[in-house]
Amino acid sequence: MEIVSTEKAPKALGPYSQAIKSGGFIFCSGQIPIDPAANAVVATTIEDQTRQAITNLGNVLKAAGSSLAKVVKTTVFISDMNDFSVLNGVYAELFGDTKPARSCVQVARLPKDVKLEIEAIAEA
């Protein structure tokens, strides 16, 4: 088991790792739309927050020697299901031809009151 960490994604907000590499896979903790350079949530729209969260996820995967193209499963937590179609548009753009298995659930609240959080499992 190997802990994965990068300065190009937000630091963990609690006692967990950005990702763990184990058994040929990378298990990424949920990424929220914190801009790692500012160490704050800068984006306000669902489109920009989705873009930042997926960028953060991509940076964690890159630090682990992987990429968005190797993602096999994501779980998306969204605070308002009315934002689902906008989320899908950005998600499709950034994942491109990669279409990992996915679950998407509406939740009551997320850390820092962001609009979404995305976790992933990828091939190493």
Helix ranges (H only) for 6-78 are 46-63
- 62 domain-assigned: yes
Distance in angstroms (rounded) separating the CA atoms of residues 53 and 121: 15
Residue range 44-85, pLDDT digits in tens? 999 999 999 999 999 999 999 999 999 999 999 999 999 999
- 75 domain-assigned: yes
Q: How many domains does the chain have?
A: 1
The residue range of the domain holding 44 is 2-14+25-123
Which of 88, 89, 95, 87 has its CA nearest to residue 116?
87
- 90 domain-assigned: yes
The overall average pLDDT reported for the chain is: 97
Percent of the chain exceeding pLDDT 70 equals 100
Residue 11 DSSP class:
P
Radius of gyration of the chain (CA): 13
- 6 domain-assigned: yes
**CATH number of domain containing 80:** 3.30.1330.40
Category of 39 on φ-ψ map: left (φ > 0), alpha (ψ -120 to 50) or beta? left
Residue 50 DSSP class:
H
- Report yes or no on whether pTM surpasses 0.75: yes
- 20 domain-assigned: no
- 19 domain-assigned: no
C-alpha distances (whole Å) from 54 to each of 23, 58, 66, 69 are: 23, 6, 14, 12
- 42 domain-assigned: yes
Residue 13 pLDDT > 90, yes or no? no
